Amino acid sequence: MVWSTENNSTMYYQGAKSTNSSTEVAEPVANFLKWFYHFIEKNEIYHVETMYEDGFYKISEFYYKDKPWPSPEEVQAIVEERDSGSIFMILYRELYYRHIYAKLKPNLNHRFESFTNYCELFSYLLGSDEPVQIELPNKWLWDIIDEFVYQFQSFQQFRSKGTKMTEEEKGMLQDEENAWKVTAVLNILMQLTEKSNINEQLKALEAGQPITEEVAGEFGIKPVYAMTGFFSLVGLLRLYCLLGDYHMALACIRHVQFKDKDMMALVPACQITANYYAGFAFFMIRKYANTIQLYQHILGYMQRTKQFFQNRSFQAEDINKKNDQMLALLAIANTFCPLRLDESVNIQIKEKQGEKVARLQHGDMTVYDDLFFSGCPKFLSPVVSDNPTPFGTSGPRGLQLQVFKAEVEQQRLIPTLRSFLKLYTSIPISKLAKFLDMSENEVRCCLMAFKHKKEIARGDTVDQTTLDIDFYVDKDMIHISDTKIARHYGDYYVQQVLKLKDSNKLIMGSALSRPGPQQSA
Amino acid sequence: QWYQRRVRSSGINAEYGEFQTFQHYFKRINLSMVMDVQAQFREMQEEAFYSMEGLSRLNPEKLDFYIEYLTFQVEHGFYDADANLNILKLYQFTPDLYTRSCIGNVHMVLVKALMQLPESDYVLCRAQLSQEMIDDPLTKKIDEVARLLETCQFPEFWSVIQEEKIFTETVGFVEAVRNFVCFVLKLTYKNVETEFLLQMLGPMETRLEDLALANGWVLKGDTVFVGDKEEMVEQKEIVEKMPIDVVSPILAIR
A430-448 tens-digit pLDDT: 888 888 888 888 888 888 8
Is A246 close to B124, i.e. CB distance below 8 A?
yes
CA angle (A175 as vertex; A169, A177 as ends), nearest 5 = 100
Can you give the pTM of this predicted structure? 0.83
C-alpha B10/C-alpha B196 separation (Å) is 54
| Mean pLDDT for the stretch of residues A120-146 | 86
Q: Answer whether B93 touches A (CB < 8 Å).
A: yes
Q: Is the dihedral of CA B62, B68, B70, B76 positive or negative?
A: negative
Inter-chain residue contact B93 with A383, CB threshold 8 Å: yes
Name the pairing type of β-strands B223-225 and B189-193. Answer: antiparallel
* Span of A32-36, A165-169, A270-274, B232-236 with lowest mean pLDDT: B232-236
Per-residue burial over A386-413, b if 16 or more Cβ lie within 10 Å, else e, is eebebeeebbbbebbbbbbebbbebbeb
Q: According to the model, what pLDDT value does residue A486 have?
A: 66
Interface of A with B in 453-482 (CB under 8 A): 453, 455-456, 465, 470-476, 479-482
pLDDT band at A317 (very low <50, low <70, confident <90, very high): confident
Confidence of residue A237 (pLDDT cuts 50, 70, 90): very high
DSSP conformational letter for A54: I
Neighbours of A483 (CB within 10 A): 17
pLDDT at A181: 85
- Quote the CA–CA distance of A444 and B95 in Å, as a whole number: 44
Q: What angle do CA A509, A514, A519 make, to 5 degrees?
A: 70
Query: How far is A292 from chain B, CA to nearest CA, in Å?
Result: 18
* Chain A residues near residue B129 by CB distance under 8 angstroms: 399
- Assess whether pLDDT exceeds 80 at residue B236: no
Across the range A276-301, mean pLDDT stands at: 89
CB-based contacts of A111, cutoff 8 Å, min separation 6: A151, A154, A155, A158, A179, A180
Does the CB of A350 have a partner CB in chain B at under 8 Å? no
Residues of A whose CB is below 8 A from B127: 244-246, 284, 399-400, 403
Strand order across the B189-193 sheet:
A426-428, A477-481, A470-474, B189-193, B223-225, B218-220
Q: What angle do CA A389, A393, A395 make, to 5 degrees?
A: 40
Query: Ranked by mean pLDDT, which of A213-227, A458-472, B13-27 comes out on top?
Result: A213-227
Per the DSSP assignment, residues forming a β-bridge with A471 are A480
User: Higher confidence at residue B73 or residue A173?
Assistant: B73
d(CA B71, CA B40): 13
ipTM of the complex: 0.79
Query: Which residue of A473, A496, A498 is the best one to mutate when testing the B interface, meaning the one whose CB has the most B CBs within 10 A?
Result: A473
Q: Is A491 on the interface with B (CB under 8 A)?
A: yes
